[in-house]
Chain A
Amino acid sequence: MSEATYIAAIREALVEEMERDARVFCIGEDIGHFGGAFKATEGLLEKFGRGRVVDTPIAEGLILGVAIGAAVRGLRPVAEMQFADFVACGFSQLAYNASTFHYRLGVSVPMVVRLPSGGHVGGGPFHSKNPEAWFTHTPGLKVVAPATPRDAKGLLLSAIRDPDPVIYLEQKYLYRREKDELEGVEAIPFGRASIAREGQHATVVTYANTVSMALAAAETLAARGYEIEVIDLRTLVPWDWETVVRSVDKTGRVLVVHEATRTSGFGGEIAATIADLAFDRLDAPVRRVAALDTPTPAEKQMESYVLPDADKIEAALTDLLLY
């Protein structure tokens, strides 16, 4: 048995689905011979040919529009944006075209858009975006955000099989950090959080990059006698509100964490839901750790200042536990 990185897990899911289902194909910039900017599609051209690994000109609206056209005719495109940031150039194809097809006309749009997202890689203002709130605020799109290689594979399998447009947020920071055994990984159903660590003193609700940071903070606090529950949502539309609320019922304290900027971030939605459904179980206010409301700076220490990390999560949890 061998272990695989997050990016290898993505590749493995692509290969398995393309082998299983002839309707699945990849489309994007530099994804053929070059294998993609992050090598997610390395080897796919050689294996599946140019009909199923479609290199495009640099035109994000085109890639997304072509994926929509192919999806409504019954194919299952997996579109790659070179960086999540550049999806902005084709935003309206997702925000208005893909997202409304089923609502308007009952036409299914089974497409996946892979978005290499997130910071902590020194990417600066144009290569570090966590764009989930653009999409969670667009009814008609599903949004997933895996935090581990196993989930990266399992959620991509589900995303490709799903009959609706799925925004698949993959984390550049996680691409090559950790490895998981992928043997036996199946499609992971949407709307099921994973409890990454159990505890009874406080709950952290998070997803993507900040899961491992929350786990590190929980580890430190465990040495001080606090047991922190860490919930990895895994999917944001839909999201597993019930697991969150049941955890809050148990712990009475909750910290919502994401790497995306704070104002109008998805964390606000989580906090509001907790306030609505578990108000009388709270022993402390719902707190948030998120990026400062700025673009992401390029210089490393400035970036660290702006983005959440394990220390900031630990500090917020300490406050929360003492409240």
Chain B
Amino acid sequence: MITSRRIERRVIDLYRQGIITGGCYTGIGNEATSVATAFPLAEHDVLVPTHRDMGSHVVRGHTPVQIMQQYLKRATGQTRGKDSSLHMGREGSNIVGMISHLAHMAPVAVGVALAERQLGRNSCVLTTVGDGATSLGDFHEALNFAAVQKLPVLFVIVNNQYAYSTPVSLQYACDKLSDRAAGYGMPGETVDGTDAVEVYDAARRAYTRGRRGEGPTLIESVTMRARGHSEHDDFKYVPSDLLEAWWRWDPIERFERYLEEHHVMTAEERRSVGEDVDHEIERAIDIARADPMPTPESGADGVYRYWEPRWTVPSGEDWELEP
């Protein structure tokens, strides 16, 4: 959780300095959900994350160096400058890289689960959507079919109160988003998304069900988007008292208190871990900044896995019929 938080704090700094450009979405406030839902996954399970899931990327092994290379659009980044931010997940990583179109990864996650079953691997799949993304048809289509097929998918709705500027009151009219689960014939529960332990327990129950062949689960994890939609957004539309009140529920502070109360980690140990993390992130930034930018021409590479040179239609400047 602190790796996620601190990477994103630095991402914001670099964005403000103009070193990171483009959309700058963070999962600040969402760390407990993102980390604790991914934590119980087994190595062979598959993550289909979305745009505020820095936590689950970190849990699943993406390193600060890889993340910075990607955010800085370096030639060494996973998408080699062709895409940016958390759109990561190369072949063999058990992470399927997202596109921006909301809710579009939900059917893909179901397809992954179908394939895993067909391939004889008893893998669970974790995917997330925001409160806003639940309004798209793809979300409905995916939940319905996952339930029909009894596929081991955990759908996590990260209800962070806003979809860009749209508050949840304008997004849906049901009481809790987890109520929708009943309509699909799957269990649903709403958890406190700032409490890592509660989220973890709920996720583990979902994976246990999934592995037993009992099908998908819907978890609504209630949290707060602690920053603007993207860093360009001053989020003046969020009432300041709401935000202030929320910070008392900072998932990281809550988990630190938990560690303290249960004598898992002392303040001293936590500080030392924090220093190591900071150090690693600074090193990652240095490495990524020193890495080469992609060449402009590489923007035309890799559209297809298989393409023959003769298939490219030439321009008359480069090709001539024999006289």
The interface of chain A, by Cβ under 8 A from chain B, is: 25, 51-52, 54, 56-57, 59, 61-62, 64-75, 77, 92-93, 96-97, 100-108, 139-140, 142, 162-164, 190-191, 238-239, 241-242, 245-246, 249, 273, 276-279, 281
Asked whether, in the complex, the Cβ of B137 is within 8 Å of the Cβ of A277, the reply is no
Residues from chain A with a CB closer than 8 A to the CB of B117 are: 51
A207 to chain B, nearest CB (A): 16
**Cβ contact of B104, chosen from A65, A242, A279, cutoff 8 A:** A65
Looking across the interface, which residue of chain B has its beta carbon closest to that of A102?
B305
Asked whether, in the complex, the Cβ of B314 is within 8 Å of the Cβ of A277, the reply is yes
Asked whether, in the complex, the Cβ of A66 is within 8 Å of the Cβ of B305, the reply is no
Taken together as a complex, chains A and B put the C-alpha atoms of A23 and B290 apart, in Å, by 43
Asked whether, in the complex, the Cβ of A70 is within 8 Å of the Cβ of B104, the reply is no
Q: Assess whether B79 is interfacial by the CB under 8 Å rule.
A: yes
Residues from chain A with a CB closer than 8 A to the CB of B87 are: 104-105
Given contact pairs A65-B138, A277-B314, A281-B321, A108 touches B107 in the complex (Cβ within 8 A) = no
Looking across the interface, which residue of chain B has its beta carbon closest to that of A110?
B305
Give the interface segment out of B141-149, B172-180, B273-281: B141-149
Asked whether, in the complex, the Cβ of A102 is within 8 Å of the Cβ of B108, the reply is no
Looking across the interface, which residue of chain B has its beta carbon closest to that of A272?
B313
Given contact pairs A104-B79, A105-B97, A142 touches B314 in the complex (Cβ within 8 A) = no
Given contact pairs A65-B107, A66-B108, A70-B112, A164 touches B305 in the complex (Cβ within 8 A) = yes
Given contact pairs A108-B305, A238-B311, A242-B310, A57 touches B141 in the complex (Cβ within 8 A) = yes
Residues from chain B with a CB closer than 8 A to the CB of A70 are: 111-112, 114-115, 118
Taken together as a complex, chains A and B put the C-alpha atoms of A69 and B116 apart, in Å, by 10
Task: Count residues of chain B with CB under 8 A from any CB of chain A.
Answer: 56
Listed residue (B108, B142, B306, B321) with the most chain A CB atoms within 10 angstroms of its CB: B108
Taken together as a complex, chains A and B put the C-alpha atoms of A246 and B144 apart, in Å, by 53
**Cβ contact of B82, chosen from A103, A162, A239, cutoff 8 A:** A103
Write 24 A-B pairs (CB below 8 A) sorted by A numbering.
Answer: A51-B117, A61-B141, A62-B107, A65-B142, A66-B108, A66-B111, A69-B107, A70-B111, A73-B111, A73-B115, A75-B119, A96-B104, A105-B83, A105-B87, A105-B89, A107-B90, A107-B97, A139-B303, A162-B306, A164-B305, A191-B308, A238-B308, A242-B310, A249-B321
Asked whether, in the complex, the Cβ of A278 is within 8 Å of the Cβ of B321, the reply is yes
Asked whether, in the complex, the Cβ of A61 is within 8 Å of the Cβ of B91, the reply is no
Q: Assess whether B18 is interfacial by the CB under 8 Å rule.
A: no
Looking across the interface, which residue of chain A has its beta carbon closest to that of B110?
A66
Classify the secondary structure of A's interface with B. helix
Q: Given A61-B107, A65-B105, A67-B111, 20 other A-B contacts at CB below 8 A?
A: A59-B144, A62-B110, A64-B107, A65-B104, A65-B141, A69-B114, A70-B112, A72-B108, A72-B111, A72-B112, A92-B101, A93-B138, A96-B100, A96-B101, A104-B83, A105-B88, A107-B91, A163-B306, A238-B307, A241-B314
Asked whether, in the complex, the Cβ of B104 is within 8 Å of the Cβ of A276, the reply is no
Asked whether, in the complex, the Cβ of A66 is within 8 Å of the Cβ of B145, the reply is yes
**Cβ contact of B145, chosen from A57, A68, A71, A101, cutoff 8 A:** A57
Residues from chain A with a CB closer than 8 A to the CB of B119 are: 73-75
Q: What are the nearest 8 A-B pairs in CB distance?
A: A69-B111, A65-B107, A238-B311, A66-B111, A62-B141, A73-B115, A59-B141, A163-B305
B124 to chain A, nearest CB (A): 13
Contact with A along B285-300 (1 / 0, CB 8 A): 0000000000000000
Taken together as a complex, chains A and B put the C-alpha atoms of A276 and B315 apart, in Å, by 7
Asked whether, in the complex, the Cβ of A276 is within 8 Å of the Cβ of B316, the reply is yes
Residues from chain A with a CB closer than 8 A to the CB of B118 are: 25, 51-52, 70, 75
Chain A-chain B contacts (Cβ-Cβ < 8 Å), number: 163
A65 to chain B, nearest CB (A): 3
Q: Assess whether B156 is interfacial by the CB under 8 Å rule.
A: no
Looking across the interface, which residue of chain B has its beta carbon closest to that of A249?
B321
Asked whether, in the complex, the Cβ of A102 is within 8 Å of the Cβ of B304, the reply is yes
Taken together as a complex, chains A and B put the C-alpha atoms of A190 and B304 apart, in Å, by 13
Residues from chain A with a CB closer than 8 A to the CB of B109 are: 69
Asked whether, in the complex, the Cβ of B112 is within 8 Å of the Cβ of A164, the reply is no
Residues from chain A with a CB closer than 8 A to the CB of B88 are: 105
Listed residue (A52, A241, A246) with the most chain B CB atoms within 10 angstroms of its CB: A241
Looking across the interface, which residue of chain B has its beta carbon closest to that of A277?
B316
Residues from chain A with a CB closer than 8 A to the CB of B12 are: none
Asked whether, in the complex, the Cβ of B137 is within 8 Å of the Cβ of A61, the reply is yes
Asked whether, in the complex, the Cβ of B302 is within 8 Å of the Cβ of A102, the reply is yes
Q: Assess whether B41 is interfacial by the CB under 8 Å rule.
A: no
Asked whether, in the complex, the Cβ of A164 is within 8 Å of the Cβ of B306, the reply is yes
Looking across the interface, which residue of chain A has its beta carbon closest to that of B137?
A61
A7 to chain B, nearest CB (A): 26
Residues from chain A with a CB closer than 8 A to the CB of B138 are: 61-62, 65, 93
Taken together as a complex, chains A and B put the C-alpha atoms of A105 and B62 apart, in Å, by 14
B138 to chain A, nearest CB (A): 5
Residues from chain B with a CB closer than 8 A to the CB of A191 are: 308, 310-311
Residues from chain B with a CB closer than 8 A to the CB of A73 are: 46, 111-112, 115-116, 119
B18 to chain A, nearest CB (A): 24
